[in-house]
Amino acid sequence: MTIPRGEAPPSLPPAARGRAGGGEQSTDVRGMFDRIAGRYDAANRVMSAGIDVLWRKKALALLLDGIGENPCVLDLGAGTLDGALEIQRRRADARVVAADFAREMLKVGRKKPAAQRVSTHAADGHRLPYGNGVFDAAFSAFCVRNLRELPVGMAELRRVVRPGGRIAILEFFRPEKTRLFFDKFYNAKLLPLLGWAVSGDREAYRYLPASIERFVSRAEFEELLRKVGFAEVSGQDLFPSGVASLVVAR
């Protein structure tokens, strides 16, 4: 199996730029994440009270259980490499590949201890630079909501994961019913203020609740995974009160 090492060439496909999250708004998502890269981890810890770390650990425990020896694992939308490094910590025999279209996020991640063991690539989730079926498993945390064309991105993920392989997706899906505290107060009002205070970028954390509101529900996402070729799709809401959800598919 051949997987490129290092960063991808400087020019990314057009899909990596411009719109995201369903097509009608025009936030420069890549530029936004590049701007906040240096404070991204700190903002996440503050806004989630550290629970995002527990979410990743739960997702990866399910993803890696019984995966076999010397697995090759993709972290899609790897950001500052929290997920990729947790995979490496849990499975020292794994070959971990981290892909993200925001180069500054990857640069921050590569400064972390043990990051040299992770292959990092600046890559667009709509057109991944990997061969068919080269990965035994794939993980993605809070990334797929930012894809401009979700069905295209999920079909690409299906393409690069081998038959019988497994994926685990952590995401903030659009709730089936409005949650007064989380949707009307925390996400809409408090979260942007917290994100602004820590990162200094208010617009980036206004984007987050807006992107959740126009994203698919977990049930809709699970159905999409089935349509692009995944089977045994299952999802669960995570503590507290279903703020984040985990979807696992084979």
Q: Is residue 4 part of a domain?
A: no
Sorting pLDDT into bands at 50, 70 and 90, what band is 210?
confident
**132 burial type by CB count under 10 A (0-12 exposed, 13-18 middle, 19+ buried):** exposed
SS3 readout for the chain: CCCCCCCCCCCCCHHHCCCCCCCCCCCCHHHHHHHHHHHHHHHHHHHHCCHHHHHHHHHHHHHHCCCCCCCEEEEECCCCCHHHHHHHHHCCCCEEEEEECCHHHHHHHCCCCCHHHCEEEECECCECCCCCCCEEEEEEECCHHHCCCHHHHHHHHHHHEEEEEEEEEEECCCCCCCCHHHHHHHHHHHHHHHHHHHHCCHHHHHHHHHHHHCCCCHHHHHHHHHHCCCCCCEEEECCCCCCCEEEEEC
Residue 30 lies in a domain: yes
pLDDT tens sequence across 103-159: 999 999 999 999 999 999 999 999 999 999 999 999 999 999 999 999 999 999 999
For 151, other C-beta atoms within 10 Å of its C-beta total 11
Which of 223, 232, 224, 227 is closest to 165 using CA atoms?
232
Look at residue 163 and tell me if it is in a domain: yes
pTM of the model: 0.86
Percent of the chain with pLDDT over 70: 81
Bridge partners, residue 121, by sequence: 99
- Give the domain CATH number at 145: 3.40.50.150
For residues 7-34, average pLDDT: 52
Sequence-distant (≥ 6) Cβ neighbours of residue 31 within 8 angstroms: none
Model confidence pLDDT, tens digit, residues 83-110: 999 999 999 999 999 999 999 999 999 9
- The whole-number pLDDT of residue 186 equals 61
How confident is the model at residue 49, as a pLDDT? 77
**pLDDT (0 to 100) of residue 217:** 95
Average pLDDT, the chain: 85
Cβ within 8 Å of residue 13, ≥6 positions away: 124, 126, 127
Average pLDDT over residues 165-181: 85
Give 241 or 14, the one with higher predicted confidence: 241
In a domain, 116, yes or no: yes
Considering the domain boundaries, does residue 105 fall inside one? yes
- Domain presence at residue 190: no
pLDDT of residue 18: 30
Domain that holds residue 80: 17-171+217-249
- Number of structural domains in the chain: 1
Per-residue pLDDT, 177: 77
Asked if the structure places residue 5 within a domain, the reply is: no
Q: 118 lies in a domain? A: yes
